[in-house]
Chains A and B, each alone.
Chain A
Amino acid sequence: MLRRPFFWIIALTIAVFAAAPRGADVELRESLLLAAVYITLASNLNLMLGYAGYVNFGSIVFFGLGGYFCVYFMGTLGWGLAPSLVASGAAVTAAALVFGLGILRLRGVHFALATIGVNEAVMAFVTNFQPWGGSTGIYLSTELFQPLGGPGPALWIIYYLLVAIMGVSLYLSYFIKRSKFGLGLLSIGQNEDAAAVLGVPTPRYKALAYSASALLPAVAGGLYFFKGAFIQPADAFDLTLSTEAIVITMLGGQGTIVGPALGAYLYEELRGWLLTSETFANFQLVVAGVLLLVIVQFAPDGLMGFFYRRWPRLRRIFE
């Protein structure tokens, strides 16, 4: 594995993320933090969308639920950051397994609609769930940053942890793609019925992929909302972020390992530019929509797919 170039490419990406922002360069750190979150979301979404061929429009539910669990564990139950993150990851993965066993009987458009349903149902539940603050959400006391050395250092620690989660996401994508499990998922993505006839245990594999794709976004959500010290249903379960994760995955190349990372980085740059530009400030999502249309129409396998077709050797290096 150490001899595969891709292993080192991921390591290098992590190193750049970890080393780039220095000292007072908070602006760069915040931009890279967002990119790390996007990469985490997109690359886990890719397990379902790119590998198994199931469009998950509601993948943000993992991120939001992870956030809620973590904020609840820390704020209400008084747990430390580490146990809260582990517990929220575990809780959301288990919840995803339950959702998955239900909705993975559906295919295509019906599945995609059901994933939106899951997100909306969870949001409606949380909005009415008083222990989690209902519609007003939960505020965390800034006291909670003290064990990490106060708010300043805490933000750096959160940043490094999110970069680590991003790295683990990329390695997870990589290992799954190189494994027997990954081969099974890819065959499901190509032709689910034929895969089952060849012996691929399709219900189990789909449920595993769905719940595996929940784990790291949930932990990332925990960190993200801990950082903001506030969580409310409208932020946690915002379908915009789900849609952006799909645009990112499609832009970079669904089913490829590097694609989601490349797409996330480019999208975050574009988004930053649009948000600060006077003309386009309110058009960020319009641009995302147009981008998605163009990709689906002209380059359904995204940037990496285009590169691989142009220079087939690249595939050997990056996959």
Chain B
Amino acid sequence: MSALLEVADLSKRFGGLQAVASLNFTVGEGEILGLIGPNGAGKSTVFNLINGVFAPNSGRVAFRGADITGAAPYRVARLGLARTHQIVQPFAGMTVLDNCTVGACFGRENLPLARAREAAHEAAALVGLEKRLEAPALELTIAGKKRLELARALAARPALLMLDEVLAGLNPTEVAHMIEILRTIRGRGVSILMIEHLMQAIMSLSDRIVVLNSGKKLSEGAPAQVAHDPAVVEAYLGDPGMVQRRPQ
């Protein structure tokens, strides 16, 4: 498995806060890598450093062999790296179809408008929004907006998809539906780097997991391995002994 994304020695400081410290990891071709950690661990910052929203203080990000450290977000997108936002960022006044068309037009394939519309239709259908194509994005429910985020990123036909908590705020039915969609996407050969708090989902979806705490890598490995790492259990999952000690 060759590395699609390579993050080497990445650091970012915001004033007195070391948000990310000497972080190293790779995402392989066709892999799903989960990124977990407590709130404020620096997960979203890592995304922002990778796709160029922030420039790192030091370190290097390489995507498909090219150095993209500090490159502008639109250049990174053009290379085939798409992402969703933890807080949805729809183009509220535009229709669902137009939202997705923007993704398709300016993403990896840089499609002309007419072909981009087709790609947008496909992406919207994949996430189950095919009946809302002409609805303004602001009329969608939260679950709908989350799916729109995903559809817009997918319409770009990316090589790597970075998902920032696409399951957060969804009810169990919606979560099940979304997991279904993610499996389909993966089946199409798209690699995924995902941040998620929903343990059950990320443990079952991921090939490997990186655990972040206070900007540093705490642990890395297969889901089962990480789940039993004492350091992870203490910092994030909670003390397993606590359940037994709880008074009846």
A146 at the B interface (CB under 8 A): no
Chain B residues near A196: list those with CB within 8 A: 72-74, 77
Structural contact, A191 and B105, CB atoms closer than 8 A: no
* Cα of A193 to Cα of B91 in the assembled complex, Å: 11
Structural contact, A195 and B83, CB atoms closer than 8 A: no
In the complex, what's the smallest C-beta–C-beta distance from B84 to chain A, in angstroms?
9
Contact A190-B94, Cβ < 8 Å, known A197-B73, A198-B77: yes
B116 at the A interface (CB under 8 A): yes
* Cα of A283 to Cα of B103 in the assembled complex, Å: 48
Structural contact, A186 and B94, CB atoms closer than 8 A: yes
Structural contact, A201 and B74, CB atoms closer than 8 A: yes
We find that the number of chain B residues with CB closer than 8 angstroms to chain A is: 30
Chain A residues near B83: list those with CB within 8 A: 197
Structural contact, B93 and A190, CB atoms closer than 8 A: yes
Structural contact, B106 and A184, CB atoms closer than 8 A: yes
Structural contact, A191 and B156, CB atoms closer than 8 A: no
Mostly, the A contact residues are: helix
When the two chains form the complex, which single residue of B51, B78, B102, B156 contacts A183, counting CB atoms closer than 8 Å?
Answer: B102
Structural contact, A190 and B77, CB atoms closer than 8 A: no
When the two chains form the complex, which single residue of A183, A186, A197 contacts B77, counting CB atoms closer than 8 Å?
Answer: A197
B184 at the A interface (CB under 8 A): no
Structural contact, A183 and B107, CB atoms closer than 8 A: no
* Cα of A143 to Cα of B18 in the assembled complex, Å: 73
B85 at the A interface (CB under 8 A): yes
B169 at the A interface (CB under 8 A): no
B108 to chain A: closest residue by CB:
A199
User: Can you show 11 pairs from A to B with CB atoms below 8 A apart?
Assistant: A180-B112, A180-B113, A183-B105, A190-B91, A190-B94, A193-B73, A194-B89, A198-B102, A198-B107, A200-B102, A201-B106
Chain B contact residues, CB within 8 Å of chain A: 51, 53, 72-74, 77-78, 82-83, 85, 89-94, 98, 101-103, 105-107, 110, 112-113, 116, 152-153, 156
* 3 nearest A-B residue pairs (beta carbon): A199-B77, A199-B106, A190-B91
